[in-house]
Amino acid sequence: MDLIAPFLQHLQSQQYSENSLQSHRLDLRRFLAWLEPEEGSSPLPRLKHLALEQLEAYQEDLGQHYKQRTVARHLSSLKLFLDFWVSQGSIPLNPVHQLRFPEIVPEPLEMLTLWEVQALLEAPSLDHYLGLRDRTMLELLYACGLKVSELLGLNVGNLFLDLGFIKVYRKQVRMVPLLPRTSELLQRYLSEAREGRLLSTDDPCLFPGRNGTRMSRMGFWAMVRKHAQRAGIEKPLNPRMLRHSFAMHLLQNGMDLTDIRDLFGYVSLDATLQYAHVNRPDFEEEYHRYHPRGEHYQKQGEP
């Protein structure tokens, strides 16, 4: 009996990304291999009688091969997995809740300076359709603090340019405000560059790659590294740096952390279409005021 597939289908229905699903799949395969059910038999009987001592032994085994952050991720995958089968009535309880997870020391955030962000965003040339696409993607990524998977998953139907928002799908739907300059760039990209690059005119994807279909993560980061080199940025880039830079630049300019959490769409907060700007009428105004590339942005100390 395959216990992993129904669990992953459940996560997929909760809008988990493909990368998350793959991580959970690999983590759980490792655990079930460690648990060693008899060949060809279901691991369910062993899961029903899983004891805290077994989990502590598994945690110790993980610690011999991985860093503490990775150990914690494996245990989190297992916790979600067992919670699911408890909810299905297949096992009586989840002993992972009694397990003490390893303490994780936060790593210093890697981010770009405001100068580096500006140089990166201006590196793609607007004289070529690929340059227009690349600049639009980079501008949107930084302007909205998106994850790369969220950016690449955008469809044309996610744009509400007349309202100044985009709809982003994560575990829940959220509406993220757009800067006027980002909306203008999107309008230009849609009218000048997108349609001619689609393999099929019915394809809703916002940013097709060179082959006319949705751009891959590898293709995106090859593009980012190319423009970073052109911009003279020597530090190695990773998928989180623009997202961290987005948050830190807003914080440094005075935006409230709870508003940044709303922009990120954390599941612990209300992430519906009206989640922030109804409860906080100044939410959109504050976003445009504090974003370094916003039309109303003022540096600290200026009147």
DSSP letters for 54-66:
HHHHHHHHHHTTS
pLDDT on residue 299: 58
User: 118 near 110, Cβ under 8 Å?
Assistant: no
| Residue 5: Cβ-neighbour burial (10 angstroms; 0-12, 13-18, 19+) | exposed
Q: Which pLDDT score, from 0 to 100, does residue 228 have?
A: 92
Other CB atoms within 10 Å distance of the CB of residue 299: 7
Distance CA(150)–CA(168), nearest Å, equals 7
Q: Report helix angle 68-87 to 4-13, nearest 10.
A: 90
Question: Which residues on adjacent β-strands are paired with residue 214?
Answer: 208
pLDDT confidence of residue 195 = 84
pLDDT in tens, the chain (303 residues): 689 999 999 998 887 878 889 999 999 999 999 987 665 567 888 899 999 999 999 999 999 999 888 999 999 999 999 999 999 999 999 999 999 988 876 566 677 888 999 999 999 999 988 999 999 999 999 888 888 888 999 999 999 999 999 998 876 788 889 999 999 999 999 999 898 888 888 889 999 988 888 898 889 989 999 999 999 998 888 767 887 777 777 766 776 666 766 776 654 333 223 223 333 445 566 667 777 777 666 554 454
Reported pTM: 0.61
Euclidean distance between CA atoms 108 and 253, whole angstroms: 20
pLDDT at 279: 36
Q: Which two tokens stand for residue 259?
A: 């508003």
d(CA 137, CA 142): 9
For residue 170, give every residue at least 6 positions away whose Cβ sits within 8 Å of its Cβ, in sequence order, or none.
Answer: 15, 17, 147, 150, 265, 267, 271
Residue 157 structure tokens = 């139907």
Q: Which residues on neighbouring strands pair with residue 166, listed in sequence order?
A: 159, 176
Q: DSSP letters along 86-114, please?
A: HHTTSSS--GGGGS-PPP-PPPPPP---H
Residue 190, burial from CB neighbour count under 10 angstroms (0-12, 13-18, 19+): middle
Residue in the block written with tokens 């109303």: 296
